[in-house]
Amino acid sequence: MSVIRAFIAIDLSPEILLRLDDVLENYRAQLLKVPIRWVGVTNIHLTLKFLGDVSLSNLNMLTDMIHAEVSSHHQFEISVGGSGVYPSIRQPRVIWIGVEAPQELIAVQNGISSATAKLGYAREDKAFSPHLTLGRVSRNATSQDVKAISQTLEKTRVGFLGAACVEKVHLYRSDLHPTGAEYTQLFSSSLIR
């Protein structure tokens, strides 16, 4: 049985990606010596559901489920801006940019989460917190590294980066390589206009 790593996500507009690239470059320059795996700007997306291993034999069932769920919701607008870390500034593991969550986004994500759970995919332990991952901090980060991250986020405030209409939801394949992840779009479903 062949499997792929997969996730369900929303793409961002080229304008927002351009602004995110500026933020990334700024953070990279300031945190050059800190062990962070930065996400390439072309790989930045809003993850709705990480599926993990998906059997190729289940792909049709999964795409049917995505279409059924997504096509019952209307298009909506997201706003991008602000920055932070998970889980805390004292123990940063993920550097992120915020996404304002309109009710329709929450409804789409909840629907996808419920539908994928019926197909046997694990539910998240935590409530959905929409964000865009910019980088993952190594577990080998020292207290000096953590201080540098904290200071950089404090002095480099990220304001409003833009808003965009969300028209589609996508299923992506994720292939891991030594140079980073490579994402391939497998399927898209449109929201109602």
The single-letter code of the amino acid at 73 is H
Please work out, in degrees rounded to the nearest 5, the angle formed at the alpha carbon of residue 116 by the alpha carbons of 113 and 118. 110
Task: Output the six-digit token pair for 162.
Answer: 């833009």
pLDDT in tens, 47-80: 999 999 999 999 999 999 999 999 999 999 999 9
* Coil vs helix vs strand at 182: strand
Amino acid at position 192, single letter: I
pLDDT digits 0-9 by tens, 152-174:
999 999 999 999 999 999 999 99
Query: In the chain, where are the structural domains located?
Result: 3-190
Q: What is the pTM of this model?
A: 0.93
Q: What CATH architecture is 3-190?
A: Alpha-Beta Complex (3.90)
Best CA proximity match to 76, nearest among 39, 108, 47, 54: 108
